[in-house]
Amino acid sequence: MCERLSVINSSFVTIVLTCLVSFSFAAPTKPNVVLLVSDDQGWGDVGYHGGEMSTPNLDQLAKDGMELNRFYAYPICSPTRTSLLTGHISMRHDIFSPIPANLTIPHDEQLMNQAFKEAGYTTMTAGKWHLGMTHVRDLPINRGFDHTYGSLRAGPDFWTHGRGEQKDWARNGKTVFENGYVTDLFGNEISRLIRDRDPSKPFFSYVAFTAPHTPLQAPQEYVDKYAHIENGERRIYCAMVEILDVAIGNILKAIDDEGIRDNTIVIFFSDNGPTTVGDSSGFRGQKGLVYEGGTRMPAIIRWPGKIPAGVRSEQPMVVYDLFPTFVEALDLKTNLNTPFDGESLWDVLKTGGKRERKTDMVIGNGTSYSVHSGDYKLVHSNINRNTPNSPPELVELFKIYDDPKETTNVADTHQDVVEKIMANNVVFADMVRNAPFREGRRGRAARIARGDGGPGGRPGVGTAGGQGEGRVASGGRLGGPAAGGRTAGGRPGGGAGAPAGPPIARDTDGNIIHLHESLPRG
């Protein structure tokens, strides 16, 4: 009898343990998070805003989620990425422009992905890093990501994955040699990682696409779909946005195929406004400028059952609000040396409502800054004391809800508002005022002397490439197909034409040392 009871008890324990193990694998994890960030995509460069390019996946995402109609980023890439990952105004970290070779995103601040990793998430990124490469410790694989893939610098060639002979293309910190169009490869990599993940752990994915940033390159079959567009550069740009949408669709399909749609937060936005080839939908300014065309971004958030679907939110939100919003919504623990500049907006996201912000929204570049405060937007331009031949200092105030195109400066009639906003944000004005001058490539100083770029802009910004980085021509290289040896869609066709850059590092046998392996170690 005792032996029989022992067998029964043993069987019962086995059944209970089996059920517990099964439950542990079946139990839902914390919500997954996927950030989809495009590069130089304008307000009007999505189908759901009337864009002429095909973006069915983003259009559907806007229907299934919430359109963030007043989402703001910095007008330049590295500052937006810094603010996204730190929850700080980028000027706090001396990042005003595309990050120079002697700077990196700070190591003494907890990054968003590190907070997720410490909360038990698998962390992954694909795309461009563009947040520092002074040392191997600056590689994203050493900054709290479990899986990394892509480039360190801005604007790698979409086909050759580098600049000239040197590759800027790596997986987990090691150069990889593979064929393919980079937008496709980013989408494929994240889709694979989602499917191959450990399902018992949640994941955080930061996908920093390089499209539709220059060089303007796309497969010819996509370019041909926009043959009705007269401007050849615009045709390629539209094709790049469509391919971006396809890659995003592949990632969304992987989420659906894994049955985790309801437990995954998806956010899409552009990192800054477009160059002249993009569409700002009539908003003033473009990439590099702190006016609406450079800072007001197409953006969407989807979390089924938690965030209302099919809603257009009018809540003002800036990129550095995302980190504190995740902290509240997902109960993340933080270990911050510097308090957040952003504020959590989880209370309004989950209802679809709108409320007064507790903090101003401050956005800057190397010469100017803007402040959204209540019903007003202040733009304070040309204040960098280190800029030679700077245009006259300019203060503008706009009733931004009544005048979203920023056509009427009301500073003279609302001096009390101007003084209050400036007094509340003097620390950030001083950061811009004392920012180092970056001459950059292609004779930026000469453009400053001519006054190009307009009020509020970083010198040299506002040309098609922004910040002097871009390469624009119907063939995807400066100078056109003849110079770059490319077809109209930018596919390699032989020949030279890569822009001049720093000398390529080589080993003692004369072999090229590629970018990831060339960084100092130790």
Q: Which residues are catalytic?
A: 77, 130
Of 341, 381, 383, nearest to 362 by C-alpha is 341
Cβ contacts of residue 19 below 8 Å, gap of 6+?
A: none
Residue pair 398/290 in contact by the 8 Å Cβ criterion: no
- The owner of tokens 């609302």 is 414
Gap between the Cα atoms of 193 and 181, Å rounded: 19
Cα-Cα-Cα-Cα dihedral sign, residues 212, 215, 221, 226: positive
- The owner of tokens 């752990």 is 201
Say if residue 256 is exposed, middle or buried (CB neighbours under 10 Å; 0-12, 13-18, 19+): exposed
Would you call 167 helix, strand, or coil by DSSP?
A: strand
Would you call 452 helix, strand, or coil by DSSP?
A: coil
Residue pair 166/156 in contact by the 8 Å Cβ criterion: no
Partnered with residue 318 across adjacent β-strands are 72
Cβ contacts of residue 255 below 8 Å, gap of 6+?
A: 32, 34, 194, 261, 264, 266
Find the DSSP H helices in 302-384: 322-330, 346-349
- The owner of tokens 């949640």 is 202
Cα-Cα-Cα-Cα dihedral sign, residues 398, 399, 405, 409: negative
Gap between the Cα atoms of 314 and 38, Å rounded: 21
* Residue 389: both structure tokens together: 């031949």
Torsion of CA 48, 252, 205, 177, to 10 degrees: -100
Region of residue 172 (left: phi > 0; alpha: psi -120 to 50; beta: else): left
Gap between the Cα atoms of 108 and 337, Å rounded: 7
